[in-house]
Amino acid sequence: MLERFHDPPQRARIVKETETAMDARFGGANGVYLPAIRRELMDIAREQQVSPGEAVVRLLEQRNETGIMRFGSEADLVRILKYPAASIACDCGATLNTRQHPRAWGSFPRLLGRYVREQRVLTWEAAIRKMTALPANTIGMIDRGFIAPGMAADVTVFDPHPVIDRATYDDPAQLSEGIRTVIVNGVVALRDGKPTSERGGRVLVRSAHMPGRPMNSVTTRRFAARGTMPDRRRVTIDLTQAAGAARATGAFRLLDAHGSTLLDASDLGVLQTAKDWASITGMARSQPGGAPRPFTAVFERADPFVAGTPRPLSVEVPGQPAVTGVLK
Q: What is the pLDDT of residues 91-105, one digit of tens each?
A: 888 788 888 889 999
- Residue 251 confidence (pLDDT): 94
**Does the structure show a pLDDT above 90 at 306?**
no
Q: 268 and 293 in contact (C-beta within 8 Å)?
A: no
200-232 burial: b if 16+ Cβ within 10 Å, else e:
beeeeeeeebbbebebebeeebebebebebeee
What does the alpha-carbon distance between residue 125 and residue 177 come to, in Å, rounded to a whole number? 20
Residue 237 CB neighbours (<10 A): 21
* Mean pLDDT, residues 266-277: 92
Rounded percentage of the chain residues whose pLDDT exceeds 70: 100
pTM metric for this prediction: 0.85
Q: Phi-psi bin for 222: left (phi > 0), alpha (psi -120 to 50), beta?
A: beta
- Residue 273 confidence (pLDDT): 93
What does the alpha-carbon distance between residue 192 and residue 316 come to, in Å, rounded to a whole number? 34
* Mean pLDDT, residues 30-38: 91
- Residue 328 confidence (pLDDT): 85
Report the side by side order of strands in the sheet with 194-195.
155-158, 179-184, 187-191, 194-195
Report the candidate in 260, 265, 266, 264 with the shortest Cα–Cα distance to residue 232: 260
**Can you give the residue ranges of every domain in the chain?**
2-69, 74-195, 221-326
Q: 291 and 267 in contact (C-beta within 8 Å)?
A: no
The pLDDT tens digits for 112-159 are 999 999 999 999 999 999 999 999 999 999 999 999 999 999 999 999
